[in-house]
């Protein structure tokens, strides 16, 4: 009985023990926030909208892939706020301003966790919650500074043939919609096979 319990605990730790470990994050040489590997073989570029419910739903699958391939896969986020979501552009501006203070992912997670609360007062509360310099954040949010980044991301999306969110560019493949981790895994494995 003791050996079976020990085997079960070992299996449980192997499967779930790392789930509480934070996913690595940093900044690319171009100054963009990333999650995952600092030296990736595969880059997933996510085109997303903070008010899009399918984008929020896709986060679990993406996180599963980043945990499964911590040394090989990197996630980069691109802003693609859709006109049908009236609060998405302000949320994108908030995330871009948080990125200036190296807190993009903290803001990203709060925005997706609170999609129904994306008014300016909510966003300012999130900024305080994650420890942003409130004066600097406020100045950024009321300036046009974040718009250049957001517009650049939107142009990049359109040039890549992206018209809906969420969309994920992995090599030459595009995954559209909130797909299960298995859909990502097959594309990632195909890309990794080029290095084997």
Among 37, 41, 50, which residue's Cα sits nearest to residue 77? 50
The answer to whether residue 10 is domain-embedded is no
For residue 31, is it within any domain?
no
Tens-digit pLDDT profile for residues 67-109: 999 999 999 999 999 999 999 999 999 999 999 999 999 999 9
Number of domains in the chain: 1
What tokens appear for 29 in the block? 């040489």
The H-or-E segment that residue 77 falls in is strand 73-79
Look at residue 139 and tell me if it is in a domain. yes
Is 30 a domain residue?
no
Instruction: Render pLDDT for 115-142 as a digit per residue (tens, 0 to 9).
Output: 999 999 999 999 999 999 999 999 999 9
Residue 187 lies in a domain: yes
CB 17 within 8 A of CB 128: no
The CATH number of residue 49's host domain is: 3.40.30.10
Question: 15 lies in a domain?
Answer: no
Q: Domain limits at 74?
A: 39-195
- Asked if the structure places residue 98 within a domain, the reply is yes
Alpha carbon distances (Å) from 25 to 34, 73, 112, 134, 195: 5, 12, 18, 23, 23
Distance CA 80, CA 91 (A): 11
């Amino acid at each position: 009985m003791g050996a079976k319990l020990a085997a079960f605990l070992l299996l449980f730790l192997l499967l779930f023990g790392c789930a509480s470990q934070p996913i690595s994050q940093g900044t690319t040489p171009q100054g963009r926030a990333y999650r995952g590997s600092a030296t990736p073989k595969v880059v997933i570029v996510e085109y997303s909208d903070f008010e899009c419910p399918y984008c929020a739903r896709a986060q679990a699958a993406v996180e599963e892939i980043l945990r499964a391939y911590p040394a090989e896969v990197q996630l980069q986020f691109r802003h693609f706020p859709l006109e049908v979501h009236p609060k998405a552009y302000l949320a994108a501006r908030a995330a871009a301003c948080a990125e200036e203070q190296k807190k993009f992912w903290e803001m990203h997670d709060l925005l997706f966790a609170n999609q129904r609360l994306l008014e300016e007062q909510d966003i300012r509360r999130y900024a305080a919650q994650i420890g942003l310099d409130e004066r600097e954040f406020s100045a950024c949010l009321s300036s046009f500074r974040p718009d250049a980044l957001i517009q650049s991301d939107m142009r990049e999306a359109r040039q890549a043939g992206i018209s809906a969110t969420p969309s994920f560019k992995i090599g030459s493949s595009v995954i559209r919609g909130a797909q299960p981790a298995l859909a990502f895994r097959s594309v990632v494995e195909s890309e990794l096979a080029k290095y084997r």
